[in-house]
Structure 1
């Protein structure tokens, strides 16, 4: 298994390159900004980028996903639920993407956005169980993703509650690799530490550990911070409904 985490500061976000070095097959998840670092990292680790994946249509930054997919010749992957005005490789809950000895199992985890997916990653050279989960902006270290950027806040919170139950059911040892960390506008109590585990978040993430749906919804819709500047416009750009300014 090869894994590289890219931490961005403007906007605050986390991206990932991972895959099977032995079979020279990798994937990039939630790329931001200049695509050069991803292409160089793939070359340095001897991997061909087989998939470029966005966990959701972002509202806080313009995705580099389509540009990287075009440059690398890889399919651009989104949830099949995504409302996008361009061709993409749509995946559904339970689908598996192969990267040699590494597999990616898709979990549909809506709530932050309706199309949001998380990615369970397994390295079969080590174990048959998943090693880590890429949770995008659904579960982050210290908090959960806000629910009003792509839907009604209360309805989004009810949907997110169901997604949280799926994530809570994962093994406690499973590493959590989120799409954002402290400073991101997509969560309220995010840690500056950009990794965690399911078990630690179940014990110490206040929003994640709420078991009652009504209490969960109340917590998620209380004191919602201001939306990111131009959030609707950025999401429209990422869905192909609007052209990005040069």
Structure 2
């Protein structure tokens, strides 16, 4: 297994490259900014990028996913619920993306957005148990993602409650590799530590610990932070329904 984490400050976010060095194949998740760092990381690991994945249609930054996929010949991947204006590799809940000795299982986790997916990653050279989950803006260290950017806050929160329950069912030792950390506008009580575990978040993440849906929805809609600047326009650009500002 090869895993690289890319921390971004403007905008705040986290991208990932992971895959199998032995079979020379990898994926990039939630690419932000210039594509050269991902190309360089793949080259240094002796790998080819076969999948470029966005966990959702982002509203807080311009995705570099399609640009990176075009540059590398990789498949650009979104969840099958994505409403976008361009062709993409559609993946469904439970689908497995193979990367040599590594696999990524797709979990449809709506809430932050209707099309959101997480990726449960296993390195089969070590064990058949999952090692980490790439959670995008569904579960972050210290909080869960805001729910009003693509639907109503209440509807999104109800969906997120069920998605959180799916993540809670993973083993406690599974590492949480989120798509944002402190400073992001997509959560409220985010930690500056950019990774965690399912077990730690179950014990110390107040929203993630709630087991009653009504209580959960009430908490998620009680403190909605200010929206990202130009959120609607950014989401439209990332969905292919608008052009980037010059």
TM, length-normalised to structure 2: 0.99
Match in the other structure for 1:63? 63
Is residue 2:131 matched to residue 1:121?
A: no
* Whole-angstrom CA distance in 2 between matches of 1:79 and 1:18: 19
- Provide the C-alpha distance between the structure 2 equivalents of 1:239 and 1:54, rounded to a whole number of angstroms: 11
SS in 1 for 2:207: coil
SS at match of 1:55: coil
Q: C-alpha distance in 1, partners of 2:143/2:85?
A: 31
Show the counterpart of 1:88. 88
1:173-217 Cα distance to aligned partner (Å, 9 max, x none): 000000000000000000000000000000000000000000000
Matched ranges for 1:1-246 at <5 A? 1-246=1-246
- Aligned-residue offset at 1:171: 0.3
What RMSD over aligned residues (CA atoms) do the two structures have, in Å? 0.4
Provide the TM-score with structure 1 as the length reference. 0.99
Q: Describe the SS at the equivalent of 2:97.
A: strand
Whole-Å Cα distance in 2 between the matches of residues 148 and 41 of structure 1? 35
Deviation at 1:83, TM superposition (A): 0.1
1:40-59 Cα offsets, whole Å, 9 max, x none, are 11001100001000000000
Shift of 1:245: 2.0
Shift of 1:62: 0.5
SS of residue paired to 1:90: strand
Cα deviation code 1:9-57 (max 9, x no counterpart): 0000000001000000000000000000000110011000010000000
Q: Aligned equivalents of 1:129 and 1:108: distance in 2?
A: 19
The runs of 4+ residues in structure 1 deviating greater than 4 Å are: none
Structure 2 residue runs of 5 or longer lacking an equivalent are: none
